[in-house]
Amino acid sequence: MSSLAESIDKTRLPRHIAIIMDGNGRWARDKGEDRLVGHFHGVESVRNIVEGCAELGIEYLTLYAFSTENWERPQYEVVGLMELLVSTIRKEVSNLCQNNIRLHVIGDMSMLPDYARKELNEALRLTASNTGLNLIMALSYSGRWELLNAVKNIAHEVKMNRLQVEEIDHHTLERFLCTSGFPDPELMIRTSGEYRISNFLLYQLAYAELYFTPVRWPDFRKENLYEAILDFQKRERRFGKTSEQLRKERQTRPVHESI
């Protein structure tokens, strides 16, 4: 294990890491290659980071692979990305099972071409009983789409008299999000030096620690992940409280709860 990995405090790992995998196109352009070459190399980073998270014992990893807005890209890129997605899933599903990784997908699946949806559903089925890392692919996903969808579905429940307006609280809303059942990400990483959220997990990132790195996604490897986690572990997460309050809470908490 690398010295960076060894300096990570294993008792204070984030349960859920979310990553905006950005910079594939610029990585390729700088090498005089087509954008699709960047996406192709990005798959190696996915493999490496999934393995890194599984080794550390991270419970949930969400990867932003394709946004609702990405449908507006040139047709050849969209088709290339869909084909890459399908061939990667086909190749990787046995690896996922060997490593006890469960695949989940969040996003508007109705937008995907039939062949991609079929391949994904098959991978979801094959990995459904795995109990290790939960790998959540955000595909044809956007936070605004998700919230709009949740509001419509809640309104429908009210209309059908299965839910009363007075009963609606944050648990209700969370139940109607695609991430229902997953804890909120504690750490959100974006590669490629862009400082924005780009419609990713708008509700769930409310209190996530944000980490931005100039490294482009095809160059991002376990060591970069370890750096992000070490940075996360240096931060004080206050959730609106004061440092003094947090200190007191730590002092009064029983030892076994003090992580």
- Binding residues (CB under 6 A) for ligand IPE: these are 20-26, 64-67, 70, 81, 192, 194, 196, 198
User: At closest approach, how far in Å is the CB of 94 from ligand IPE?
Assistant: 25
User: At closest approach, how far in Å is the CB of 116 from ligand IPE?
Assistant: 14
User: At closest approach, how far in Å is the CB of 244 from ligand IPE?
Assistant: 38
Q: Clarify whether 224 is annotated catalytic.
A: no
Q: Clarify whether 169 is annotated catalytic.
A: no
Angle ∠(89,223,228) on CA atoms, nearest 5 = 95
User: At closest approach, how far in Å is the CB of 192 from ligand IPE?
Assistant: 6
Nearer to ligand IPE, 31 or 235 (CB): 31
The 10 Å CB-count burial string (b at 16+, else e) for 137-149 is bbbbbbbebbeee
Our finding on whether 215 is near Mg ion (CB under 5 A) is no
Return the closest-CA partner of residue 181 out of 16, 4, 63, 9. 16
Our finding on whether 22 is near Mg ion (CB under 5 A) is yes
Between the alpha carbon of residue 221 and those of residues 47, 127, 163, 227, the distances in Å are 9, 24, 46, 10
- 53 contact choice in Mg ion, ligand IPE, none (CB below 5 to 8 Å, kind-dependent): none
User: At closest approach, how far in Å is the CB of 173 from ligand IPE?
Assistant: 24
- What are φ and ψ of residue 168, in 5° steps? -70, 120
Cβ proximity of 65 and 135 under 8 Å: no
Binding segment for Mg ion (CB under 5 A), chosen from 21-29, 50-58, 165-173, 206-214, is 21-29
- What are φ and ψ of residue 188, in 5° steps? -120, 125
Between the alpha carbon of residue 31 and those of residues 19, 34, 78, 128, 216, the distances in Å are 24, 9, 21, 39, 13
Q: What tokens does 126 get? A: 């094959």
Give the ranges where the chain is alpha helix by DSSP (H): 3-6, 24-30, 35-56, 75-98, 114-127, 143-159, 170-175, 222-233, 243-252
| Catalytic annotation, pick one of 70, 99, 130, 149 | 70
Distance CA 165, CA 155 (A): 9
Binding segment for Mg ion (CB under 5 A), chosen from 16-24, 83-91, 130-138, 229-237, is 16-24
Our finding on whether 186 is near Mg ion (CB under 5 A) is no
Return the closest-CA partner of residue 40 out of 30, 51, 27, 52. 27
Residues in contact with Mg ion by CB under 5 A are 22
Active site residues: 22, 70
